[in-house]
Amino acid sequence: MFAQTPIRDGVDQYERLAPRYDRLHHRWLRHAGGEAQAALEALVRALATPNSKLLDAGCGTGKLARTLIAEGMSPQLMTLLDPSAAMLARCADIPVPKMQERLEALPFEDGAFDLVTCVWALETVPDPFLALTELCRVVRRGGALCLAFCADEPARGLADGLMRQALLYRGTGRFLSRSRLMRAIESIDGFEVRAIPSQGPASTVLARRTGAVVQAVTKPKVEPYPPQHGDQ
């Protein structure tokens, strides 16, 4: 519903990509997603306290966790989660609990975390709405969810366009509609959401949980994408 095209389960692809993922991802950040990544890291720095329990869902090779720990965040309050065993193996040097689980079925109690991050992962799951609902569910009242994702936004130039085509060619993700994603979060009781400005085909979104519960939700009705040039 957030994306123009569906994708298959990509866990096996990330198992194979793990040894060279950091090199590929560095290229993405350099040419397309760097502003969104910087915006997300700034959000986490602003929101985290010494007592914040943090879940990095879809942690990949642990880049964000290493950055936060190097800046002083306690690893004792951090949990890493990813569906790929090969990606988690790349986090072996990070002294925090690690779980191989899916974003669509998080193994935590409601409201278990003060801060939840999901960075370049929501666009890789077959059902991003279900994953988003789970991410919201485990945020405590007064806590926040910070998202960075590949977004269906205009490319700034040739480099952005090439990065976009490379991701689509590999089939490891897709580009989500920021406006539809935000409306989906707003449909979940107890959340306020806003976008953090960044340019290029990537976005950062902050969702704060102000209500006491996350109620069961159904997928909101949204208008279909208009036909794109070249679509059959």
Q: Give pLDDT, residue 54.
A: 98
Q: Which two tokens stand for residue 135?
A: 């991410």
| % of the chain residues with pLDDT over 90 | 63
Residues 111-137, mean pLDDT to the nearest whole number: 96
**What residue ranges in the chain does DSSP mark as E strands?**
54-57, 78-82, 98-100, 113-119, 139-150, 191-196, 202-209
223 located within any domain = no
The tokens 């059959």 sit on which residue?
232
Report how many domains make up the chain.
Answer: 1
Contact status, residue 122 vs residue 53, Cβ threshold 8 Å: no
Residue 55 has pLDDT above 90, yes or no: yes
123 located within any domain = yes
Q: What are phi and psi of 203, to 5 degrees?
A: -140, 155
Residues 17-32, mean pLDDT to the nearest whole number: 86
d(CA 113, CA 124): 23
Q: Give pLDDT, residue 161.
A: 56
Residue 52 has pLDDT above 60, yes or no: yes
d(CA 94, CA 66): 7
Choose the weakest-confidence range: 3-7, 12-16, 17-21, 221-225: 221-225
Q: Who's near 196: CB < 8 A, 6+ residues apart?
A: 36, 39, 40, 43, 203, 204, 205, 206
Please report the DSSP string for 12-39 in residue order: HHHHHHGGGHHHHHHHHIIIIIHHHHHH
Longest dimension (CA), the chain: 53
Sorting pLDDT into bands at 50, 70 and 90, what band is 225?
very low
* Partners of 82 in the β-ladder: 100
Range of the domain at 38: 11-209
Q: Give pLDDT, residue 232.
A: 31
d(CA 8, CA 176): 15
Residues 181-205, mean pLDDT to the nearest whole number: 92
Residues 174-192, mean pLDDT to the nearest whole number: 92
d(CA 117, CA 56): 5
83 located within any domain = yes
200 located within any domain = yes
136 located within any domain = yes
Q: What are phi and psi of 63, to 5 degrees?
A: -60, -45
Residues 111-140, mean pLDDT to the nearest whole number: 96
CATH number at residue 176: 3.40.50.150
- Give the pLDDT confidence of 143-182 residue by residue, as tens digits: 999 999 988 866 665 555 555 565 665 556 788 999 999 9
178: enclosing H helix or E strand: helix 178-186
